[in-house]
Structure 1
Amino acid sequence: MTRSLRPLPALRTARGFSLVELLVAAAIGLILLAGLSTLFVNNTRTQAEIEKTHRQVENGRYAIDLLAVDLRNAGYFAEFNPTLLATPAVLPAPCSTALADLHAGLALAVQGVDDGDAGLDCLDDLRAGTDVLVVRRTAACIAGQAGCDAASGPGPFFQASLCNDATELNSPKVTDFYALSLDTAGLTRRARNCSVPAALRRYKTHLYFVANNNTAKDGIPTLKRAELVADGAGAAWRIVPLAEGIENLQLEYGLDLAPAGGDGVAELTAADPAKADGCAAPACAAGNWRGAVAVRLHVLARNAAATAGWVDKKTYTLGRKADGSSNDIAAAGDPYKRHVFQALVALPNPAGRRIP
C-alpha cells in the first residue's frame, strides 16, 4: 500500500511573496515616500519663508529704533544751549570735516538731503533716490567715565563751560561758552568752581544712508551710518553697516517756523525744509532746518534672499515728496518680499528749547 506525499509544514511557510505582491508593495512605498518628501520640502520651504520674514521685520524695526534713539538725542550738548548761536548763513556741507563747518552745524540738530547725492562724496555706494539724515549731538556720558569713551586720543570733543566769569559765561561772545576740537588741545573751558577743567564729551555727527550693497557687490541694500572720527591728520568718516535689507529711506520733517521763536510744535510738514514755505535763499534754508522739531521716518525693508515663484507687484507709499505729491515707490517686479516701517519721532532737545 503506497502513501501520497504531502509538503511539509516548514516548506509551506518558507514560500515568499509573489512578484505581483512585491510590485504592489513597492508602488505603495514609493507613493508614501513621495508624499512624505513633498510634505518635508513644503515644510522646509515654509520655514525658510518664515525665517526670511522674521529677519525682514527684525531689520526693519531695528533700523527704525536705531534712528529714533539717535533723533531723540539730537541737539544734546550737555549744559550748553545752542539756541544762543546764530543761524548759519548757508547750510553746512554734511560731509565737511572742517572745524568751521562743525561749529556751524551746532545750530542745526538735524539736517538732511532729499533724494540727492550732491556734496555727499563721503558716502560710498549711496543708493539713488533715497534720503540722507544728519544727526548732531554729544555723547550722553562724560568721556573717561566707566562705560564711556576715553578722554584722550582723537576726538572730536565738546566742552561746555560752567564758569561764570568774564572770560567764559559772562563773555559777550557765545563762542566762549563752549569749546569744540578734533582733539583735547584747546579745550580750556572750566567747571563751576572756575578752577578745574569742565567735563569732556565726544562730539558725534552721524550720517544715515542706504547703500546698494552691504559688502562689495553682494546686492543686499543696507542701512549704514557714517561716523565722524578724528586722527592725527584731522577728521574722517568711518562707515558702519547697521541693518541689511533696508532698501529705501524717506524722511519728512515737522517744522516750527513761527517768527517769534515758536512753541516747539510743528505747524508745517516738509520732505525738504530747505524749500518749504516758499524758501529760496540759503539763509532761509538754514532757518527752516533750525525749526525742525520732529521727523517722520519711512523705511522700506526687503528680504535679503529671493522667494521662488514670488513676483513683487506692490506699490509702496513712503510719505510725500517735496512738492507735496505722494512718494510712491513703483513695483519692482522681482522675487523679493518687502514691507514698510514708519515712525514719528519728536526732537525733545530743539523743540523744548523753543518753548517760551
Structure 2
Amino acid sequence: MTPQSLPRRPSAQGFSIAELLVALAIGMLILAGMTTLFVRNSRTQTEVERANRQIENGRYAVQLLSTDLRNAGYYGEFDPTPLADPPGVPDPCSPTLPALRAALPLHVQGFAPGDALPSCLTDVKPGTAVLVVRHTRTCASGNPDCDADGIQGPLFQASLCDNLSELGSGDPANYYALDTDPAKLTRHQRDCTATAGTGTVAIGRRFLTHIYFVANNDQAGDGIATLKRAELRVVNGTLQFIAVPLVEGIDDLELEYGIDTNGDGVVDQYTASPGGAAGWRNVLTVRVSVLARNLDKGGSNQRHAFQSTVLMPNPAGRKQP
C-alpha cells in the first residue's frame, strides 16, 4: 500500500510593512481629526459659558439697581413733601444724623462722570457715574420674618399721631424720627391722645442710604471692574459707610434721570445732571445703562450693554393729582 502524504497547511499570512504604515497613517489622521474636533468643541463650550456668565452678571446688576430704585423715597407712612430742600447738594457720605435728616427729601441723587465724587468712595473707575438711593426697609424693625435687624444702621419712624406735639404741630421735623438710638424714637400711632407722649409707639424701620459705583478692582489690585455699593451702617457705635462688592465684570455705569418739570407727575425730559436739590426732588424715573465684560483674560474681550428705565412709584405717586 502506497503511503499518502499529508496535505500541506498554507503558511500564515500577515500585514506587510507597507500595509502597516498605511494603516498607521490613516489612524493618525482620524485621531488628529477627532482631537481637533474635541478641542474646537471645548473652546466653543468655554466661550458659551463665558458669554452666559457675562450676560447673567449684566442682567443681575440691572436687576439690583432697578429693585433698589423702585423703593426710593419709601419712608413708611411719612410723606417728605413738606420738608425743605437741603442747602446745596449734600454729600451723601456725611455720616451724621443732621446730614441724614437734611437729605431725606432727595430720594435719589447722582454724580455724572467728571463730577466731584462723594467723600467716602475710593477706587472709582474714571468715566463712570455714581448713584445714591435713599429709603427705608419695607419691613418693620424687630419683625422675625424679615432681615430688618440683619445690618445695624439708623432707624426711621413715621408719626401717625395728630396731637400738637407731632402731626398737629405744623413742624415737619416732628412728623418723623431718625436716630441710631431706639430710645429716641418717640413718635406714636393713631391711638395717641392730646397729651404728648401717650399712645402706641409707631413702627420703626431701618433707614438705608446706598451709593452705587463701579470700582477698578474687586479685591485690591486684581483689575476686575466691579459694581459696588457703599452702605450706611453703625459700626462700633459709629455711623459709617462700608463698600460692599456686588457684581464682578461691570465695566461701566451710565445714568439719565427723568424729571417732572411742571409738577404733574409725568416725566418731561431726561438729563444726566438734574442740577440742585430742587431738580433731584423732581426725578421720577432713572434710565440705567450697564456695560458688562468678559471676566476671563484668556477669552475674547466681549462686552454687552444692558439698559432699563425704572419708574420710582413713591415720588411719582406723591405728584399725582
Shared fold by TM > 0.5? yes
Aligned-partner residue type, residue 350 of structure 1: P
Q: Matches of 1:74 and 1:270 in 2, distance apart? A: 19
| C-alpha contact 1:156 1:181 (8 A) present in aligned 2 | yes
Q: Matches of 1:153 and 1:41 in 2, distance apart? A: 48
Pairing 1:336–2:268 present: no
Going from structure 1 to structure 2, the CA distance change for 1:174 and 1:163 (only over 3 Å counts) comes to: same
Q: Report deviation, 1:257.
A: 2.0
Going from structure 1 to structure 2, the CA distance change for 1:151 and 1:300 (only over 3 Å counts) comes to: closer
Q: Report deviation, 1:231.
A: 2.7
Identify which range, 190-199 or 32-41, moves more after superposition.
Answer: 190-199
**Secondary structure class of the residue paired with 1:170:** helix
Going from structure 1 to structure 2, the CA distance change for 1:54 and 1:344 (only over 3 Å counts) comes to: same
| C-alpha contact 2:125 2:214 (8 A) present in aligned 1 | yes
| C-alpha contact 2:91 2:119 (8 A) present in aligned 1 | no
Alignment deviations for residues 61-109 of structure 1 (CA, whole Å, 9 cap, x no partner): 1111111111011000000000111111211102111111111111001
Pairing 1:240–2:244 present: yes
Q: Report deviation, 1:153.
A: 8.8
Q: Report deviation, 1:233.
A: 3.5
Partner of 1:347: 312
| C-alpha contact 1:132 1:207 (8 A) present in aligned 2 | yes
Partner of 1:311: none
Aligned-partner residue type, residue 290 of structure 1: R
Q: Matches of 1:20 and 1:97 in 2, distance apart? A: 86
Partner of 2:207: 203
Match of 1:222 among 211, 215, 226: 226
Structure 2: gaps (5+ residues): 193-198
- Return the structure number with greater relative CO, CA threshold 8 A, min gap 6: 2
Aligned-partner residue type, residue 289 of structure 1: W
Match of 2:282 among 281, 291, 300: 291
Q: Matches of 1:217 and 1:5 in 2, distance apart? A: 89
Partner of 1:324: none
Partner of 1:280: none
| C-alpha contact 1:87 1:107 (8 A) present in aligned 2 | yes
Q: Matches of 2:239 and 2:81 in 1, distance apart? A: 26
Q: Matches of 2:86 and 2:247 in 1, distance apart? A: 33
Going from structure 1 to structure 2, the CA distance change for 1:130 and 1:160 (only over 3 Å counts) comes to: same
Partner of 2:196: none
Q: Matches of 1:294 and 1:302 in 2, distance apart? A: 26
| C-alpha contact 1:79 1:160 (8 A) present in aligned 2 | yes
**Secondary structure class of the residue paired with 2:231:** strand
| C-alpha contact 1:182 1:234 (8 A) present in aligned 2 | no
Q: Matches of 2:151 and 2:21 in 1, distance apart? A: 81
Q: Matches of 1:271 and 1:137 in 2, distance apart? A: 22
Q: Report deviation, 1:3.
A: 9.5
Match of 1:115 among 113, 116, 124: 113
| C-alpha contact 2:59 2:306 (8 A) present in aligned 1 | yes
Partner of 1:65: 63
| C-alpha contact 2:218 2:245 (8 A) present in aligned 1 | yes
Going from structure 1 to structure 2, the CA distance change for 1:117 and 1:241 (only over 3 Å counts) comes to: farther
Pairing 1:264–2:265 present: yes
Q: Report deviation, 1:144.
A: 1.1
Match of 1:146 among 144, 147, 155: 144
Match of 2:295 among 300, 304, 314: 304
Pairwise CA RMSD of aligned residues? 2.0
Going from structure 1 to structure 2, the CA distance change for 1:223 and 1:150 (only over 3 Å counts) comes to: closer
Partner of 1:319: none
Aligned-partner residue type, residue 351 of structure 1: A
Matches within 5 A, 1:17-96: 17-96=15-94
Going from structure 1 to structure 2, the CA distance change for 1:230 and 1:251 (only over 3 Å counts) comes to: same
Going from structure 1 to structure 2, the CA distance change for 1:28 and 1:151 (only over 3 Å counts) comes to: closer
| C-alpha contact 1:301 1:339 (8 A) present in aligned 2 | yes
| C-alpha contact 2:148 2:205 (8 A) present in aligned 1 | no
Q: Matches of 1:8 and 1:158 in 2, distance apart? A: 105
TM-score, structure 2 normalization: 0.92
Aligned residues: 314
Runs of 4+ in 1 over 3 A off after TM superposition: 1-7, 149-154
